[in-house]
Amino acid sequence: MIKALVVDDSRAIRMILRRILTEEGYEVCEAGNGQDALEVMQVEMRAVSLVLIDWNMPGMNGLDLLKQLRLCGELASVKVIMVTTEAELGHMASALEAGADEYVMKPFTKEILREKLALVGGVPTASV
């Protein structure tokens, strides 16, 4: 089973993303901020192939987490989708320049998330 990490300080958003990803065939782990996500990735490094990151979180924000993931050679190939309320084109450009594979603006639908998963090549076949 493919493993995904959901990083968001909102428990409700983590729950929604977990439900969608589980329906899509992922095993899901969670973190409430960027620092916790780095700790999870140290343990799950070889297992996690997809990370969904919120931008605005306490401590380490999503953009800083993304940059940290891209600096680590073993994590550089992990697919990253930013899932955030940041709708400014400048934020989107910053995330993509830092190495995000896709960008989803909140609020989102299950269909939009599925489309983004397909674009990054991260759709398991459990729902097919």
Give yes or no for residue 126 having a pLDDT over 50. Answer: no
Q: Out of 56-60, 61-65, 107-111, 123-127, pick the least confident.
A: 123-127
Residue 53 banded pLDDT, cuts 50, 70, 90: very high
Q: Does domain 2-119 have CATH number 1.10.645.10?
A: no
Transcribe 70-126 into DSSP letters: HHSGGGTTSEEEEEES---HHHHHHHHHHT-SEEEESS--HHHHHHHHHHTT---ST
pTM score, whole prediction: 0.92
pLDDT single digits (tens) 67-96: 999 998 888 889 999 999 988 999 999 999
Domain ranges for the chain: 2-119
